[in-house]
Chain A
């Protein structure tokens, strides 16, 4: 086996707040002042003299990342938001340059950061296939050779000479993915594109990626969907705060990644993977029973309250449409349920106090025995609002035992991620269906 990628001590530094500070005339003004040895009229008051590297204005998205990838490897890169995954991808795909270190590639690398980049609504599907293909580095001759395959894969044959603006969004995405999937690069970098299309198309995409991998091409799959990494990859790399935390088999990597979400009831404040910056922050999450006692291990079928403790440093700002959502996911990242004050149709006080808790009561907890992860999200409004605060894997919920069905029986996690209440009976003889109501007969 030969190497396809070598990443050698790659670091990436972003300077925060320095670059876009000025307009041209201000910059000229500053330079002129410095040249005459005067004080820069535009310098912020706290700024140190030039040449003195100010570390708090810098952010290292990647630090000394090194790894090798063998040709034909399918490697999953996993990490939380802000772990440096996207920066690594951008460097590999040459969208941005590393600050330090080098990357060696053997063969053409194609990156599916976002499908459909460069699509033009006025052009037909056919024109867009050529345009998109050439943006991704193919020549017209190559695209022409692959054209039938691409159209076939996308399933939009009939509309290939129709302008893309008449396509449904699903058709556009399918066509775009078909172009990218049929690129035939030696190295394929994929960033969560599996979230596109319907289930059947996703299956087709996974199949295509497996086929590509079997042909001995190298695939880098970047995701935080543990289940997809588990299925597709043979090796996993965990990034955390810009460092490579783990490099090994995909199963071990996922375990390592999920371990990093262990619950820290007091430490939400110190977490660096928070979304959004606002005066409102969730500082801790706690589960309590209806008796008000904290629950460390919940039981299936019990009534449970989720306390999202918050602090609000700007209580004077009205929050009339505040939306609080929790998402519960399985240990393999399968979404199990979400709950929010939008779906229950409830609103909070317009002026939030300086501290308090959002409390969500979950009646008859419908979860089998397993460990679940909880994400939360605060938005200023359901539509058109901004993210005030949010965190993936903010805490864990462990469910053990319990008597959901009142029978002492509980199905295991592998037969389903949720419990649904129900009951059984038997009736004898041929059972005639009830006549359907008039409105329903029209449909059949």
Chain B
């Protein structure tokens, strides 16, 4: 809570140290970061809740997290590798697709988990106040756990193909992974916040999210390498931060790809922009959303 020392009494009473002032409107830029920090325990407990909830409610438990990328990899290998014969930059096809899928899945999770924040939590939000941002932030962290499991699967594949003598060169650039994750989390959170804020007014948007994310995947170098795109058009694709993120991941772990550092930097810039606009919109909607839902 903010500590303000405004004294609203014109009556000459002693100055009252109000700890909280509730006002009609909140400025677009007024995000209560300190309050969010005070609620960090809530974020931790929400992560815990979501994690336990996910595990206990599925029959296969954590196995599910392995099966989903495995099946997708098999399908992609057959459809895009064998039938469509799209290049995989000389990397073994399963490894190529799995790397894209594992990374893409984290981003897609972030978006799908956060984009319903207001509508899914309408009951909770209309009963008790806490910084609403805690919910999407906790979702992004929970998705990180799923990513960890799927990343471990990817490492197993990597080790297997490495021992088979496949032409892959994991290199020192793997230290960039935390940056890539941060970028995806920022982008996913930003998009999710934007969507969830807009769905409080426009219900039809929530329908669009599912296939929107699906379409986005086909524009994100998951099923094809950036090198397949004519270099004259690459700049256009690089506007989508997921392209340099996935390409950088492959470049670091598989040693393949044509990504350049400026592309990654530009991607980071777009991520920050999306995150900021997402959080500001979310923050603006937060205060009056219970009147509109």
List the interface of chain A (C-beta within 8 A of B): 2-3, 6, 8, 14, 19-20, 22-25, 27, 90-109, 111, 113-114, 117-118, 120, 122-123, 127, 130-131, 134-140, 163
Q: Which residue of B45, B57, B288 contacts A96 across the interface (Cβ within 8 Å)?
A: B288
Listed in ascending order, the chain B residues whose CB lies under 8 Å from chain A are 1, 8-9, 16-26, 38-39, 41-42, 44-46, 48-49, 52-53, 56-57, 123-130, 198, 201-205, 287-288, 290-292
User: Would you list 26 pairs from A and B whose C-beta atoms are within 8 A, ordered by A residue?
Assistant: A3-B16, A19-B292, A20-B203, A20-B292, A25-B204, A91-B22, A93-B129, A95-B126, A95-B128, A97-B23, A102-B8, A104-B20, A105-B18, A105-B20, A106-B16, A108-B1, A108-B19, A113-B128, A120-B49, A123-B53, A127-B49, A127-B52, A130-B45, A134-B42, A135-B124, A140-B44
Q: Which 8 A-B pairs have the closest CB atoms?
A: A24-B202, A103-B22, A94-B129, A105-B20, A134-B42, A117-B127, A104-B18, A23-B204
User: Is A117 a contact of B124 with CB atoms below 8 Å?
Assistant: yes
Using CB atoms, name the residue of chain B closest to A100.
B24
Return chain A residues, CB-CB under 8 Å to B288.
96-97
12 additional A-B residue pairs with CB within 8 Å, beyond A101-B24, A102-B8 = A6-B9, A14-B291, A24-B198, A27-B201, A93-B129, A95-B125, A102-B24, A109-B20, A118-B124, A122-B53, A134-B42, A134-B45
Docked pose: A163 CA to B53 CA in angstroms: 11
Shortest Cβ gap from A47 to chain B (Å): 18
Q: Is the CB of A134 within 8 A of B41?
A: yes
Give CA–CA (A8, B127) in the complex, Å.
23
Q: In angstroms, how far is the closest chain A Cβ from the Cβ of B281?
A: 14
- The reply to whether B45 and A95 contact each other, CB–CB distance below 8 Å, is no
Cβ–Cβ contact A98 & B16, under 8 A: no
Closest to B40 in A: A139
Shortest CB distance B8–A (Å): 6
What residue in chain A is nearest B18 (Cβ atoms)?
Answer: A104
Residues in B neighbouring A139, C-beta threshold 8 A: 38, 41
Complex CA gap A135/B42 in Å reads 6
- Taking the closest CB of chain B, its distance from the CB of A280, in whole angstroms, is 29
* Residues on A with beta carbons closer than 8 Å to the beta carbon of B9: 6
Closest to A25 in B: B204
Of all chain A residues, the one with the shortest Cβ separation from B292 is A19
Could you say which residues of chain A place their CB within 8 Å of the CB of B42? 134-135
- B128:A135 contact, CB within 8 angstroms: yes
- What residues of A have a CB within 8 angstroms of the CB of B204 in the complex? 23-25
Question: With A and B bound together, what is the CA distance between A47 and B201 in angstroms?
Answer: 20
Q: Give, as a whole number of angstroms, the nearest-CB distance from B30 to chain A.
A: 12
Asked if B198 contacts A97 (CB within 8 A), the reply is: no
- With both beta carbons as reference points, the residue of chain B lying nearest to A104 in the complex is identified as B18
Provide the residues of chain B in CB contact with A91, threshold 8 Å. Answer: 22
Contact A95 B127 (CB under 8 A): yes
Cα(A90)–Cα(B125), bound, Å: 11
A99-B8 contact given A114-B127, A127-B49, A131-B45, CB 8 Å threshold: no
How long is the Cα–Cα vector from A311 to B267 in the complex, in angstroms? 67
Nearest-CB residue, chain B, relative to A140: B41
- Which of B23, B48, B127 is close to A113, meaning CB atoms less than 8 Å apart? B127
Residues of A within 8 A of B53 (CB): 120, 122-123
Question: Which of A27, A94, A163 has the largest number of chain B CB atoms within 10 A?
Answer: A94
Nearest to A27 among chain B residues (CB) is: B202
CB < 8 Å: which of B1, B46, B128, B202 contacts A111? B128
Closest residue of chain B to A124 (Cβ to Cβ) is B52
